[in-house]
Each structure stands twice: as structure tokens, then as C-alpha cells.
Amino acid sequence: MVETKMIEPKDLPEFDQSQVTNISQADVGSVHAELVRMHQAGADTINADEVELQQSAAANVKANQVSAHQSAMARVEAGEVLSQSSAMGFVHAEKASVSGYTGAVVAGSADVHNGIAGFVVGRDVHVQDVRTILLFGQNVNGDVTTLMDSRSALIAGLVGGLFAGLMLLLGRTLFGRK
């Protein structure tokens, strides 16, 4: 019989500032280092100059460079992000190259390929075999299927606002105080 121990969040170790931190098959609270390498590991918070994730997960990543392969990240703030076959919630970067599942990408230069992205916003957007809900870009290149473009989003917002206003007016008329 194998006995496993649940690691409670308060029991998660913290790694302080060091040159290089390598984490494999472990869960940590927060990591602060110049270079963080994780393999089949998890972290709540990572602050580093460079982060490399391989089949790992992180809730909050703040770095100059992030490289991820088959990993999951909830929130990423970086100068440059390279993500392959990964899942990410929110990415804010100057330059982002992502594939897999992404909730939102906000970048100066966004390269999104072979995946699904909820929202993509960027100055220069390059897409290939991507499905998005909403795409905003000054320069957009590539093959993308969007549920909404800028015009559709504007129309949906106006119709939604009109509908909400009518419902509010109707509610006040029917159930208002006398």
C-alpha cells in the first residue's frame, strides 16, 4: 500500500533568490531566481528573469522570458513568451508565441498557432489554424476563424446595452414603487 501526503498551501516550500533553481516532481509556494527550470512540478508564484516549464503548472508567472512545453499557467506577465501545446489563462507580453489553449493574449507582437484563443489583442498579430472569439489587431496576418470581429463586437455591445436598458425600464415600470 502506497501512502501519499497532501501538501497544504501553508506547507509549500519557498525558494529565495538564487542563480538557478531546478524543480522536478515537486510543488512549491513561490520561487524567486534568475533562472527557474521546472519539470513535472507546480508553483504558486514564479518571479524570475527566465522561466522554463516542461509538463508543469504555475498560477502566477512574472519574468523577462518564459518558455513552456505541455504546461499550464493561469497568469503570465513577461517580455517574451514561447508556449507550445500548453494551456494559459491570461498572457501579457511584448512578444508572445503560443499554441494550445489560451484564454486571452495581450501583446505587442502576438503569434498564435494551432490552437484556440478566447481573446487576442496585439499591434502585430500572426495567426495560423486558430479559432478565436474576438481578435483585435492593427496588422493581422494568417488563417483565423473568429466568432466576432471588431464590427460584430460593436454591434453585440450595442444590442446588449439596448436590451439591458429595456429590461431595466420594464422592470422599473412593472415593479417600481408608487
Task: Give the pLDDT confidence score for residue 66 in this predicted structure.
Answer: 97
Cell output for 93: 507580453
Q: Whole-angstrom Cα distance, residue 63 to residue 37?
A: 12
Q: Is residue 79 included in any domain, yes or no?
A: yes
Beta strands in 55-71 (DSSP E): 57-69
Task: Give the pLDDT confidence score for residue 2 in this predicted structure.
Answer: 36
Q: Provide the pairing of β-strand 57-69 with 42-54.
A: parallel
Q: Whole-angstrom Cα distance, residue 20 to residue 34?
A: 6
Q: Whole-angstrom Cα distance, residue 154 to residue 149?
A: 9
Task: Give the pLDDT confidence score for residue 120 in this predicted structure.
Answer: 92
Q: Is residue 162 included in any domain, yes or no?
A: no
Q: pTM score > 0.85 for this model?
A: no
Task: Give the pLDDT confidence score for residue 147 in this predicted structure.
Answer: 78
Q: Whole-angstrom Cα distance, residue 173 to residue 39?
A: 60
Q: Whole-angstrom Cα distance, residue 29 to residue 81?
A: 22
Mind giving me the DSSP string for 79-115? EEEEEEEEEEEEEEEEEEEEEEEEEEEEEEEEEEEEE
Task: Give the pLDDT confidence score for residue 134 in this predicted structure.
Answer: 84
Domain span at residue 142? 9-149
Q: Whole-angstrom Cα distance, residue 4 to residue 61?
A: 28
Q: Whole-angstrom Cα distance, residue 102 to residue 111?
A: 12
Q: Is residue 177 included in any domain, yes or no?
A: no
- Work out how many domains the chain is built from and give that number: 1
Q: Is residue 88 included in any domain, yes or no?
A: yes
Q: Is residue 168 included in any domain, yes or no?
A: no
Per-residue pLDDT of the chain in tens (178 residues, 90 and over written 9)? 434 333 444 454 555 556 888 999 999 999 999 999 999 999 999 999 999 999 999 999 999 999 999 999 999 999 999 999 999 999 999 999 999 999 999 999 999 999 999 999 999 999 999 999 888 889 999 988 877 777 777 888 899 899 898 888 888 888 876 5
Task: Give the pLDDT confidence score for residue 83 in this predicted structure.
Answer: 96
Q: Is residue 125 included in any domain, yes or no?
A: yes
Task: Give the pLDDT confidence score for residue 151 in this predicted structure.
Answer: 78
Q: Is residue 161 included in any domain, yes or no?
A: no
Task: Give the pLDDT confidence score for residue 171 in this predicted structure.
Answer: 84
Task: Give the pLDDT confidence score for residue 4 in this predicted structure.
Answer: 34
Task: Give the pLDDT confidence score for residue 174 in this predicted structure.
Answer: 83
Q: Which is it for the CA torsion 21, 52, 108, 62, positive or negative?
A: negative
